[in-house]
Amino acid sequence: QVTLKESGPALVKPTQTLTLTCTFSGFSLSTSGMRVNWIRQPPGKALEWLARIDWDDDKFYSTSLKTRLTISKDTSKNQVVLTMTNMDPVDTATYYCARIHQVYGDLYFDYWGQGTLVTVSS
Amino acid sequence: DIQMTQSPSSLSASVGDRVTITCRASQSIDRNLNWHQQKPGKAPKVLIYGASSLQSGVPSRFSGSRSGTDFTLTISSLQPEDFATYYCQQSYSTPWTFGQGTKVEIK
């Protein structure tokens, strides 16, 4: 059974660095083809893809946020960590982690965490 | 980045109605288009992947199609549990991008 769960602070101050952890079970990120992503959603707004890390440690980032994001994995702990620097109130959102599943050439999110709401306010 | 333009942004429909949502990619994405359903306070759930493949467990009233860079999600007979927000999302190239969403409301 695949599960993912996000954890991190509910409140951060402007200019601070946010660190979020995705702890998962039911698969290993050392297995070929496994990939984990971070996606966020401001209140009442659309989904925004942030970053992805693959089994071979390839990393991909949002174009607009790449200077502020770092994604990493700890395979032994079944965790993926996202850091976002210089937080601003516009970064207030629910942050999700999600796994990618591959069926032949098709890639899609098959499992999501429940999401964690992060509010940026002084 | 590939832009995904989804329409309409919202619609009102009745139970039993046929509903169509469209999504246009700013460039060719082959058939690398997924459709997600999201209910309030919940994580999204994939309905269709690869433009037209139905995810396991998803009712057959949902279907997807492609014509070039235009993609369509169709709900053949809207059910009460289908009132939600729907997003298209391209998986052709990183950064992956989502459409702006279509909120399906009760008429």
Which pLDDT tens digit goes with each residue over A43-93? 999 999 999 999 999 999 999 999 999 999 999 999 999 999 999 999 999
Instruction: Quote the pLDDT of residue B52.
Output: 97
Give CA–CA dist B107/B6, Å, rounded: 21
Distance from CA of B101 to the nearest CA of A (A): 6
- Looking at residue A92, its pLDDT comes to 98
Q: A-contacting residues of B 20-49, CB under 8 Å?
A: 31-32, 34, 36, 38, 43-46, 49
**Cβ proximity of B4 and B24 under 8 Å:** yes
- Residues A91, A94: Cα–Cα separation, whole Å: 9
For the stretch B61-76, pLDDT in tens is: 999 999 999 999 999 9
Residue B106 is predicted with a pLDDT of: 87
Whether the pLDDT of residue B97 is over 90: the answer is: yes
For position A105, what pLDDT does the model report?
85
Contacts of B95 in chain A (CB under 8 A): 49, 60-63
**Alpha-carbon distance B26 to A23, whole Å?**
35
Cβ proximity of A20 and A38 under 8 Å: yes
Say what the pLDDT of residue A103 is: 86
Q: Is the pLDDT of residue B107 over 90?
A: no
Chain B residue numbers with beta carbons less than 8 Å from the beta carbon of A97 are none
Q: Are A96 and B43 inside 8 Å of each other by CB?
A: yes
Decide if B43 and A47 are in contact by the 8 Å CB cutoff. no
B80-91 average pLDDT score? 97
Average pLDDT in chain B: 97
Q: Verify whether the Cβ–Cβ distance A47 to B96 is below 8 Å.
A: no
- Provide the pLDDT confidence category of residue B82 given band limits of 50, 70 and 90: very high
How many angstroms separate the first and last alpha carbons of chain A? 40
Q: What is the C-alpha to C-alpha distance for residues B95 and B90, in angstroms, rounded to an integer?
A: 9
With CB atoms and an 8 Å threshold, state whether B99 touches A62: no
pLDDT in tens, A4-43: 999 999 999 999 999 999 999 999 999 999 999 999 999 9
Output the CA–CA distances (angstroms, integers) from residue B38 to A58, A66, B101, in the order listed. 29, 26, 9
DSSP letter string, A32-95: TT-EEEEEEE-TTS--EEEEEEETT--EEE-TTTTTTEEEEEEGGGTEEEEEE-S--GGG-EEE
Rounded Cα distance between B40 and A96, Å, is: 14
Q: How far is CA A41 from CA A81, A92, B92, B98, in A?
A: 18, 8, 21, 11
Name chain A contacts of B45, Cβ cutoff 8 Å.
Answer: 112
Nearest CA in chain B to A53: B94
| pLDDT (0 to 100) of residue B15 | 96
Chain B residue with minimal CA distance to A106?
B50
